[in-house]
Structure 1
Amino acid sequence: MVKRDILPVQSYNEIKEKIGNGRPTILSFGMSHCYSCIAMSKVFYEILREHPGLQIYSIDSQKDRIISRDIYRLKEMPAQLFFDENGKEVFRHTGAYKKPVAEVILKKYGFAL
């Protein structure tokens, strides 16, 4: 079985200034014990490894629950929020998906691949 790495988890406070910094950004909210969250993190890890210029960040929804619940109004995990270069949310998705679907979404919303 092939071991695939996952995105490192960061706190929202560490990355919030990156939203709207002139580059599109993805926040991937999940939980460490959630199979679908881990699967989504592996997909984003692979995409980031192939396209290191992208801004994709993993946030633990339990540690940053006030952010995920009160600011972004997330109710289910995993959840991905896509922001344009100005920091405007352009798309959100709840659940996990395979890498080809993620790449289609990235292209559609202006993430250069």
Structure 2
Amino acid sequence: MSEKKPLPLHEYRDIKHTIGNGKPTILAFGMSHCYSCLAMSKVFAEVLEVHPDYQIYSIDSQKDRLVSRDIYKLKEMPVQIFFDASGNEVFRHTGAYKKAVLDIILKKYGFE
């Protein structure tokens, strides 16, 4: 059995234009040395294997600390921020959760 891989990291400046482009978007903020952040990233990577058209981006909060601190006011990790197709923040979660819970949240916020 192969090891699940986390999402590739993106810089906020490279993906911010996708927020509000007509598709729901998730920004998953975390840190490379955080166990819960890595676990959550692997869950999102699993979702993208089934739904490669979803816009889910992993952002390293240490490298993009001004974005995570000043724009999104994050204080703990991991944090997932869900945006609707128009770019409005509709849900924010701090911590990690299992794929079954994520599936419910994705359906509720327009990822279908």
TM-score of the superposition, structure 2-length normalised?
0.98
Q: CA RMSD in A?
A: 0.8
1:21 aligns with 2:12: no
Map of 2:62 onto structure 1: 62
Gaps of 5+ in 1: none
How far off its partner does 1:91 sit? 0.1
Q: Distance in 2 between matches of 1:60 and 1:22?
A: 25
Deviations 1:17-45, CA, capped at 9 Å, x for gaps? 00000000000000000000000000000
1:103 aligns with 2:103: yes
One-letter identity of the residue aligned with 1:6: P
Give me the identity figure in percent: 70
Q: How does 1:10-89 map to 2 (within 5 A)?
A: 10-89=10-89
3-state SS of paired residue (1:15): helix
How far off its partner does 1:2 sit? 4.3
Runs of 4+ in 1 over 2 A off after TM superposition: none
One-letter identity of the residue aligned with 2:24: P
TM-score of the superposition, structure 1-length normalised?
0.97
1:9 aligns with 2:9: yes
3-state SS of paired residue (1:27): strand
3-state SS of paired residue (2:59): strand
3-state SS of paired residue (1:93): strand
Gaps of 5+ in 2: none
How far off its partner does 1:83 sit? 0.1
How far off its partner does 1:85 sit? 0.3
